[in-house]
Amino acid sequence: MHLVTLSAAPETPPPTYVPRALGTTLTELAGLFPVVYLTGPRQSGTTTLARNVLPGFRFIDLEEMLAREEALDDPRRFLRRIADGAEGVVLDEAQRA
Ligand SMILES: Nc1ncnc2c1ncn2[C@@H]1O[C@H](COP(=O)(O)OP(=O)(O)OP(=O)(O)O)[C@@H](O)[C@H]1O
Ligand SMILES: [Mg+2]
């Protein structure tokens, strides 16, 4: 009998966060404006930056199918729902919807 077992790779700890110069500016702008647009090349650290400098914000990833479908289906209801009770919201991959 031949047995093949598959298992996930051992958890690797997340890399230590290196503070970015833009962090303070992003926090300030998020407190001043209703919407702040953060963009950058692929893998440049936009998600990590937002997660680290806006820790109280609700994080929604529009790469996730269910969130994207809801946003496309009824944008107003989606925005109302994600804003409800949140200090702020990060919409990651916002270009997807
Ligand atoms: N400030 C940082 N300190 C340490 N590691 C970082 C930092 N910013 C990004 N990284 C690492 O770089 C990689 C890319 O980061 P991240 O996913 O945040 O980039 P992104 O711009 O959101 O990428 P994508 O284009 O896939 O959306 C990740 O492995 C992340 O852990
Ligand atoms: Mg990202």
Q: Is the CB of 15 under 6 A from ligand 1?
A: yes
Q: Whose CA is nearest to atom 23 of ligand 1?
A: 43
Q: Is residue 35 part of a domain?
A: yes
- State the pLDDT at residue 8: 77
- State the pLDDT at residue 55: 93
- State the pLDDT at residue 48: 97
Q: Is residue 10 part of a domain?
A: no
Q: Is residue 55 part of a domain?
A: yes
**Cβ atoms of 89 and 58 closer than 8 Å:** yes
Walking along the chain (97 residues) 10 residues at a time, the average pLDDT comes out as 81 89 97 96 97 96 97 97 97 96
Q: Is residue 7 part of a domain?
A: no
* Widest pairwise Cα distance in the chain: 66
How many domains are there within the chain?
A: 1
Rounded to whole angstroms, what are the CA distances from 43 to 26, 46, 47? Answer: 18, 8, 9
Q: Is residue 54 part of a domain?
A: yes
Rounded to whole angstroms, what are the CA distances from 45 to 3, 9, 16, 62? Answer: 41, 24, 13, 17
- Ligand 1 atom at minimum distance from 52 CA: 1
Q: What is the residue range of 43's domain?
A: 22-96
Q: Is the CB of 41 under 6 A from ligand 1?
A: no
